[in-house]
Amino acid sequence: MSPQNLVLTGPFPCCDVKLCDFESSRVIKDDHVNEILGTADYVAPEILHFEPITTAADMW
């Protein structure tokens, strides 16, 4: 965990704190990405099945 992995949704301390990792982030064009990204234990099932990645995979 590092400070780069924290996103504050408003002024601290009265805000939500979200954990994130933008290291392997990508811009999605044409509604999908065909690339294997992430750590196998934590990625969405679509990635493990080599299916196109959509924004639904972000919610995994």
Place 5 in a pLDDT band, splitting at 50, 70 and 90.
confident
Alpha helix stretches (DSSP H) within the chain: 45-48
Instruction: Give the chain's radius of gyration (CA, Å).
Output: 14
Collect all residues with Cβ–Cβ distance below 8 Å to 30 and sequence separation of at least 6: none
Tell me the mean pLDDT in the region 22-43: 70
pLDDT at 58 over 80: no
Q: The pTM is what? A: 0.41
Angstrom distances, CA of residue 4 to CA of 10, 18, 23, 52: 16, 11, 10, 28
Coil, strand or helix at 6: strand
Q: What pLDDT does residue 45 have?
A: 82
pLDDT band at 10 (very low <50, low <70, confident <90, very high): very high
Confidence at residue 39, expressed as pLDDT on a 0 to 100 scale: 72
